[in-house]
Amino acid sequence: MSPGPLQGRVALVTGGAAGIGLALAEGLVRRGASVVIGDLEGAEAAAERLRAEGLAVHGVVGDVTSEPAVATMVEAAERRFGGLDILVNNAGIYASLTPKPFEELDVAEWRRVLDVNVIGTFLCCRGVLPAMQRRGGGRVVNISSGVAFKGNPYMAHYVASKGAVVSLTRALATEMGRHAVLVNSVAPGFTLSENVLRNPTLIAGVKEPSLRNRVLGRDMLPDDLVGAVCFFAGPDSAFITGQTLVVDGGAYYH
């Protein structure tokens, strides 16, 4: 087998034990990267399934809102695989949310969504920087969302959080460029991940409008994001930073 485009690279995928995160972790490792899966639960079980195929994957419990936990994930990558080159900020709160008018959203839920989706992204970016500096540079791929551009109703806290991720991507690209760290974002449309499939209320409110508004009128699946994320993680995007690529089957032209 010929070496993949990410051969010799080490990646950390947060929220990587299931759904979109697991698809991204598998996509990276099949392109040659060694991958650390970080998640609140299920990380080691997911890693074990891929290791059974002879792939270089390690699982670690990781809470992106905790600075010590972020440090533990970074240390695991350096200890297990010798460094860290790629961060995929996938961990986030969405699939468990119930759509409702903004005036019915309580402050505690707002704070929880922002804490994970925005502060967690910030903490992971800050946490990986020293490790990437030791490697002479790196790649950060933040998972935002197409809702940041469309202003979808009944999910104001989620929309705001993903808009913040887009803006944070631009700001960090500007600051981290001097360290040869490129920071980009991939913005999915509504994706039928395994966690989303457990929330029938969410599916009932979002699936049909999503299909109706897409040029490519089919359901979006986690595998549809793999190519875009691996592009930003790989050599073909070596002069691209601060950008957001919308992957939604043509629902929004960005």
Q: Which of 94, 158, 252, 253 is catalytic?
A: 158
Active site residue 94: no
Q: Which is nearest to 65 in space by CA: 152, 113, 123, 137?
A: 123
In whole angstroms, what is the distance from residue 213 CA to residue 207 CA?
A: 10
- Mapped onto helix, strand or coil, the DSSP state of residue 216 is coil
C-alpha distance from residue 93 to each of 34, 60, 115, 185 (Å): 26, 19, 9, 17
Distances (CA, A) of 239 to 13, 120, 131, 235: 22, 26, 21, 9
Largest CA distance in the chain: 56
Q: Which residues are catalytic?
A: 158
